[in-house]
Chain A
Amino acid sequence: MKNIVIGQYIPGEGFFYRLDPRTKIISVIVLMVAVFLLDSIYHLLVASGVAMILLLVGKISIGRVFRGLRPLLVLLVFTFVFQILFNRQGAILVNETLTLSATSIVGVLFLTVLWRMLARRGKFRFLLLLMYLGGLYLAMRYLTFWWQITTFPFVIYEDGVTMSIFVIVRLVVIITLSTVLTLTTKPTDLTQGLEKLMRPLKVIGIRSEDFALIISISLRFIPTILDEANKIMSAQASRGADFAEGKLKDKIKQVISLLVPMFIIAFKRSEELADAMESRNFVPGKPRSRINELVFNRLDVLTSVFVVMCLTGSILIRVL
């Protein structure tokens, strides 16, 4: 349980590591806006080229970024399928009739079972999902004999294809940008950057210092509490609890046997932590000096200029 990595941060050196977190946060937001302003696929491809160059400059491996995309694959596939099925504009590319018959239903069921079984093994899940979707199409297209129940049209329009590609590329670019931020910025620096940026919110009564302290303490206690969860799970397992298997009802029971002690211990911890903080003269809301300082240097100026140029560029493209 030692050396748990919180967040996606990977220690390293390079251009992005030397930037002030404030610059990085604002740049990512501004670049996202710039990307959203683009409305043609060609401009977007240029933008993704720029994103690639950024990765190269920062010596960030593209594989890393794509691993960050993995949890969003399902969302991407869903967007793709949705656009293809429901966008009704432009020239017709494919016009087929699909059939729901006794054989095709059996085919669909068979494919579903096969897909779930293979997916359980946990390898090539994404590929399997694509093959499953393709299989569904083939089954309903060609298994037309016996007891035709109903038929329905399957039409793909040109805009459906371009739009789906457009949306996906846009998402990928945006996620790449935010991944660069999280890969190269320590969670603590990130909170400190956010704290400084949220300073103006003091006007409406939000104290960003408190907010930042809460986040940094939470980050600090994540490994401690994970460690504890493991201990409690072992303790409960030695008393016959089984967290891995059993019916849903049993599983819920087991989770409760984990959560109740976790909460009790967490409350006790927080009380002791509050005592420790207070005895070291912490007074909420009182000004404090800082050991970690953010420095805005020449690289930050350079980055800001670049980001402003990107934004102006996409505004000009939009307007002209």
Chain B
Amino acid sequence: MSYIEIEDLSFSYTGKRKILENINLLIEQGEWVAVLGHNGSGKSTLAKLMIGLLDPMSGSIKIDSTLLEEETTYEIRKKIGIVFQNPDNQFVGVTVKDDIAFGMENLLVPRAEMLEKIDFFARKVGMSDFLDKEPASLSGGQKQRVAIAGILAMQTKIIIFDEATSMLDPYARAELMDYIRELHDEGITIIMITHDIEEAMLADRLVILKEGKIHADGAKKQLLGQPEVFETSSLELPMAIRIAGMLENNDDKLKAVKEYLWEFSFDR
């Protein structure tokens, strides 16, 4: 029994062209999975299906052995949270405090407990000095951190990041990745939807989507050994692999550089 079981999942908006086709995916508790894909590969649709914002055409999704269907969405959403791409469009509250509280309010958490949790999780994402600030005075990275705190406060065990860093500047992006790494270390299952290969390299496992189908699925190191997998799904390889490819079949010194680069990029 895996933690997340996606079985034979297909989805289509119109009934004709399938956005997702026969997706089978098992994710264990505590895994860090990057779902990679080009624009239109269906990766964001997969995220929306997993949290019950869209209904599958066929197939099933089970989270912690609960089947996702209309009656169970409320229970499922206690276990799985999502951080979307646009920091502004997911900020519901008038202040940081209100926004962190929003999900807990929906779960009928008593006020005293909410205040405690807000304090705790705001500190955790480094936003405790901003509790009474309005979203207009926050940066994109800060808003994303508030979104994470809001989800953590709901005691979710799985967090999906749907291109959550794509609207941030490089500094805020690196900072957010650090927070994600911390969450992973605490045992939260991370599913990162992205088209950025360097970002995906932080995950343990890569799932590559191509035209609505799973093109490749495996441990990061294993997939990096097969560069053709990336090339055939119009994804750029990580810089180190590209350089390594250029050095292939050359003399021993260059091989040393290759090993060094590999170590530098992935074994840190």
Contact = CB atoms under 8 A, between A and B. Distances in A.
B114 interface: yes
A96 interface: no
What are the 3 tightest A-B residue pairs by CB atom distance, in nearest-first order?
A276-B90, A291-B101, A223-B136
Interface in A272-294: 272-273, 275-283, 286-293
8 contacts: A188-B94, A219-B94, A272-B89, A276-B84, A276-B90, A280-B151, A289-B105, A293-B111
Interface residues of B, number: 41
Interface stretch (A1-9, A32-40, A117-125, A162-170): A1-9
A283 B103 CA distance: 11
B136 A272 contact: no
Interface in A259-314: 269, 272-273, 275-283, 286-293
Contacts of B92: 217, 220, 273, 276-277, 280
Contact of B106 (A219, A272, A283, A292): A283
A289 B103 contact: no
A292 B81 CA distance: 24
Contacts of A281: 74, 77-78, 103, 106-107, 154
Contact of A282 (B53, B98, B102): B102
B126 to A, nearest CB: 20
A226 to B, nearest CB: 9
Contacts of A282: 102, 106
B91 interface: yes
A272 B88 CA distance: 10
Given A275-B48, A275-B53, A290 B105 contact: yes
Given A2-B136, A279-B81, A291 B105 contact: yes
B113 to A, nearest CB: 9
A224 interface: yes
A277 B214 CA distance: 29
Contacts of A287: 108
Nearest to B95: A188
B149 to A, nearest CB: 12
Contacts of A273: 89-90, 92
Interface string B97-132: 110011111111111001100100000000000000
A275 B106 CA distance: 14
Report whether over half of chain B's contact residues are helix, strand or loop; otherwise say mixed: helix
Nearest to A286: B106
B96 to A, nearest CB: 11
A269 B106 contact: no
A250 interface: no
Given A3-B137, A223-B134, A280-B103, A289 B109 contact: yes
Most buried by B among A217, A283, A288: A288
A280 B150 contact: yes
B137 A283 contact: no
A288 B106 contact: yes
B37 interface: no
B135 interface: yes
B20 interface: no
B86 interface: yes
Nearest to A187: B94
Interface residues of A, number: 32
A269 B89 contact: yes
A210 interface: no
A275 B86 CA distance: 12
B40 interface: no
Contacts of B137: 2-3
Interface string A1-41: 11110000000000000000000000000000000000000
A192 to B, nearest CB: 10
B258 to A, nearest CB: 43
B135 A224 contact: yes
Contacts of A1: 136
A293 B81 CA distance: 27
Contacts of A293: 111
A272 B84 contact: yes
Interface string A75-99: 0000000000000000000000000
Given A272-B86, A272-B90, A291-B114, A283 B74 contact: yes
Contacts of A217: 92
B190 interface: no
A12 to B, nearest CB: 15
Given A216-B94, A289-B104, 4 more contacts: A188-B98, A275-B48, A278-B53, A281-B77
Contacts of B104: 289, 291
B77 A279 contact: yes
B77 A280 contact: yes
Most buried by A among B78, B88, B110: B88
Contact of A4 (B52, B136, B150): B136
B170 interface: no
Contacts of B150: 280
Contacts of B134: 3, 220, 223
A265 to B, nearest CB: 10
A129 B82 CA distance: 59
Contact of A288 (B82, B90, B105): B105
